[in-house]
Amino acid sequence: MLKEKLNWRYATKKMDPSKTVPDEKVDAILEAISLAPTSSGLQPFEVIVVKDPDTRAKLSAAAMGQQQLVEGSHVLVFAAWDNYSEERIDSVVAQMAEERGASEMLDDYYSRLKALYLPREERANFEHAVRQAYIALGIALTAAAFEEVDATPMEGFDPEAVDEILGLRARGLRSVLVVPLGYRQEDGDWLVNLKKVRRPRARFVTEVA
């Protein structure tokens, strides 16, 4: 089942603007993203869901005119924390204590984590947060495939422009990934019927027995 779904998905180049992804499918994808593993459970990113056509048009302009952003019905913007802070980490700890129960082990672990993260340069912390967002991206694409929703991951955009459009910097966030959701328009997509090409296992996997 998993293999079939992953073979079905591809980076859709042409979406059908007449079709809208149902809210329940978008919600299922977002729930899967929220369950993605992240370092120390910090979830150091947010997902902005853009449905408004005018905003999606602005995002398309910031992404070199890529039309999936306007042809699809939703755009997911993954925005990483610009830095780790004591307040952000403490917020995670407080939620864990509320839902799991407070413990000395929990406090000690995150105290050590703050001692490691907080003195680091902002750039190092941001790049660490970005890597967590990429883990969630993989989960998002897999969840979309299970929902039979087309999703096209994009790095080809102007992050500063996207940040400005969505007001992210004021929230301590920076855009790192954009994923339009929609349904493929097969008669206009040159990629839809092409064979999926991947390196054979022998050239891709090294086993150490």
> Measured between alpha carbons, how far is 38 from 44 in angstroms, rounded to an integer?
8
**Cα–Cα–Cα angle for 143, 149, 152, nearest 5°?**
85
pTM, two decimals, is: 0.95
Per-residue pLDDT tens for 147-197? Answer: 999 999 999 999 999 999 999 999 999 999 999 999 999 898 899 989 989
Residue 112 near residue 105 (C-beta atoms within 8 A): no
pLDDT value, residue 193: 86
Stretches in the chain below the pLDDT threshold 70: none
